[in-house]
Amino acid sequence: MKIKRKILAYFTLIILSFSLFFNNSSFAQETPSSSSSAEVDTTITPTPTGAQDNEVKKNELKKIINELEQKSDEAKKKVDSLSSQIEVMDNQIQLTQYRINLVQEQINDTTLDIDTAGKKIKNLEGSLNNVTKVLLSRIVATYQAGEIDPVRILLASSNLQEFLSRENYLKIVQEHDKELLYNTQQAKVDYANQKTLLESKKKKILALQSQLEDYNKELDSQKESKQKLLAETQGDEENYQRLLSQAKAQLEGFSRFTANQGGASLLGGQTACDDWGCYYNQRDTEWGGSSLNGTQYTLASDGCLVTSMAMVYTHYGHKSVTPATINSIPGNFASYYPAFLKKDIIADGTPSSRVYASIDNQLSGGNPVIVGISYDGGPQPDHFLVLISGLNGNYMMNDPYTPNGHNIPFTDKYSVGSIREIEKVAM
C-alpha cells in the first residue's frame, strides 16, 4: 500500500509538471522568472509626513511658539500700566497667529498623507484583483491535472532526464507559488493598514480644521479686545488706572464676602425653575468650580453678579442661560480686568444693559432688580443678588450665595440700609 501511495504521489508530480508545459489554462504558464501581472508589490511604502522643508518650518514655528509663550507669561506678571497691558495683548495676538500657521502646516502635511494613502490603496486594489484571478486559474489547473491518468503521463515522458527535469520545474513552480501567496498575504495586510491609516488621517484633518477655526475665532476676539481696551480707556493711562482700580476693588469685595460667609464650598442640586424663571447658586457643582473668564477667581467665590444676571435672563424667557453661559463669552468681561463683568453683556444672542433704577417701581411692574449690598458696611458693594418681589423694604430675593436661596426674605440675611447699587436689566 505504501509503495502504491508513493507511486501515486510520483505520478501526481509528473501530471502537474506535464500541465505546466502543455495546458494553456494551467497555472504553470506563469513562470517563476517572469514579471507577470500576478506579481504583487508588497513593499511597505512609509506614509510621508510632509516635505523636509515643511518639517523644518514646523519645527521653527514650534520654537517661536514656545518662546512667545514664555514671553507672554512673564509679561502678564508685570501688568501695571496701559502700555504693559497692550504689550500682553500684542504678544497673545502674535502667539495665536503663529499657532494658526503651525496648524495650517499640519493640515497641509495631513492632506498630502491622505492623497498618498489613497493612491497606494488604489494600486493595491488593482494588484490584489490581478493576483486573485491568476490564483483562481491555477486552482482550476491543479484540479484538472489531478484528473489525468498517471500512466498516460508516464508514457508521455521520452526518458528519465525529461521526467526529472519536469519534476524539478514543478518544485520551482511550487516554491514560486508559496512566495506569491506569502506576498499576497502581505499585500492584504498592507492594504488593511493603509485603509486604517487613511481613516485615521481623515479624522486628524477634521480635528485640525476644528482647531484652526477655534484659533481664528480666538485671534479675532483678541484683536477686538485690544480695540475695546483702547476705546474703554480712550488710550489714556489715567483712565486705565481708574477703571482697573474699580474692577479690582469689586472682585476683592466678592472674595472678602465669600470668606466672611464661610467660604466657597460647592453645593449640589441648587437649581430651581418656576413661572418666574430659574434660581441659580454660584456655588452649584455644575459651574462653581469653573474659573471666572479664565482668571484666578472662580464662580463659586466671585460669581454672584454673573449668577444674578443669569437668573434675570431666565425671567425674561431665556431659560437656557446659566452662569456658565455668561461666563463662556469673553466679550462680557472688561478687557482691562478679565474677571470684571461689564454692564453691557450678551447671552443667548440677546444683549442687555444694567442701568440705575428704583426698586419699588420696577418690582411693582413685575421686573426684577439686581442690587449690590455691602455686608461689611463699606461704601462699595461686595455681593450682588436679585430682588424678585415686594414693596417698601419687604422684599423677596434670589440670593446666589445662600444654599437654596430661592424666593427667601431679603431682611432675613441683609438690611435695606446695606444696599449700595440698584439696577434693572434692560433687554
The CATH number that applies at residue 346 is: 3.90.70
Q: How far, in Å, CA of 370 to CA of 47, rounded? A: 61
Same structural domain, 227 and 365? no
Same domain? For 274 and 138 the reply is no
Residue 220 pLDDT greater than 60, yes or no? yes
Q: Residue 323: give the domain boundaries.
A: 263-426
In terms of Cα–Cα distance, which of 324, 314, 415 is closest to 371? Answer: 415
Is the pLDDT higher at 323 or at 9? Answer: 323
What are the residue ranges of helices labelled H in 234-318?
A: 237-261, 299-302, 304-315
Quick check: 40 pLDDT over 70?
A: no
Q: Round to whole Å and give the CA distance between 253 and 157.
A: 109
Same domain, 228 and 294: no
- How many residues in total does the chain contain? 427
Residue 338 lies in a domain: yes
Side-by-side strand order, sheet with 408-409: 344-347, 350-356, 419-426, 369-373, 383-391, 394-398, 408-409
**Chain centroid offset of residue 306 CA:** 27
% pLDDT > 90, the chain? 49
In a domain, residue 406? The reply is yes
Lowest mean pLDDT among 128-132, 169-173, 271-275, 368-372: 169-173
User: Is 136 within the bounds of a domain?
Assistant: yes
Let me know if residue 347 belongs to a domain.
Answer: yes
Q: Is residue 285 within 8 Å of residue 268, measured between CB atoms?
A: yes
Shared domain for 19 and 160, answered yes or no, is yes
pLDDT of residue 240: 93
In percent, the amount of the chain with pLDDT more than 70 equals 76
Q: Is residue 248 part of a domain?
A: no
Query: Which helix (H) or strand (E) element contains residue 85?
Result: helix 82-146
- pLDDT at position 150 over 90: no
87 & 211 share domain:
yes
In a domain, 240, yes or no: no
Per-residue pLDDT band at 312 (split at 50, 70, 90): very high
Q: Which of 232, 249, 277 is the last residue of a domain?
A: 232
Residue 168: pLDDT above 50? yes
pLDDT of amino acid 199: 86
314 or 133: which carries more pLDDT confidence? 314
Q: What is the pLDDT of residue 392?
A: 96
198 pLDDT band, cuts 50/70/90, is: confident
The three three-digit cell numbers of residue 353, written as one number: 444693559
pLDDT band for position 125 (50/70/90)?
Answer: confident
pLDDT number for residue 167: 62
Residue 388 covered by a domain: yes
The domain boundary residue, chosen from 211, 232, 253: 232
* Mean pLDDT, the chain, whole residue set: 82
| Whether 303 and 420 share a structural domain | yes
Residues 184 and 270 occupy one common structural domain? no
Q: What pLDDT score does 129 carry? A: 73
Count of the separate structural domains present in the chain: 2
Alpha-carbon distance of 191 to 125, in angstroms, equals: 8
14 pLDDT above the threshold of 60: no
- Do 194 and 334 have their domain in common? no
The alpha carbons of the chain give a radius of gyration, in whole angstroms, of: 40
Strand 383-391 to 394-398 pairing: antiparallel
Whether residue 151 is predicted with pLDDT greater than 60 in this model: the reply is: no
Cα distance between residue 85 and residue 71, in whole Å: 13
Averaged pLDDT for residues 388-402: 98
Q: What is the mean pLDDT of residues 280-306?
A: 98
Mean of pLDDT values over 203-218: 89
Residues 181 and 291 in one domain: no
Same domain (yes/no): 50, 185: yes
Residue 35 scores a pLDDT above 80:
no
Flag whether pLDDT at 126 surpasses 80.
Answer: no
Are both 59 and 164 inside the same structural domain? yes
More confident residue, 94 or 12: 94
In angstroms, the CA 230 to CA 389 distance is: 40
In a domain, 251, yes or no: no
Whether 220 and 267 share a structural domain? no
pLDDT of 79 higher than 80: no
The confidence score (pLDDT) of residue 169 equals 65
Give the least confident one: 66-75, 159-168, 217-226, 292-301.
159-168
Mean pLDDT for 219-223 is 87
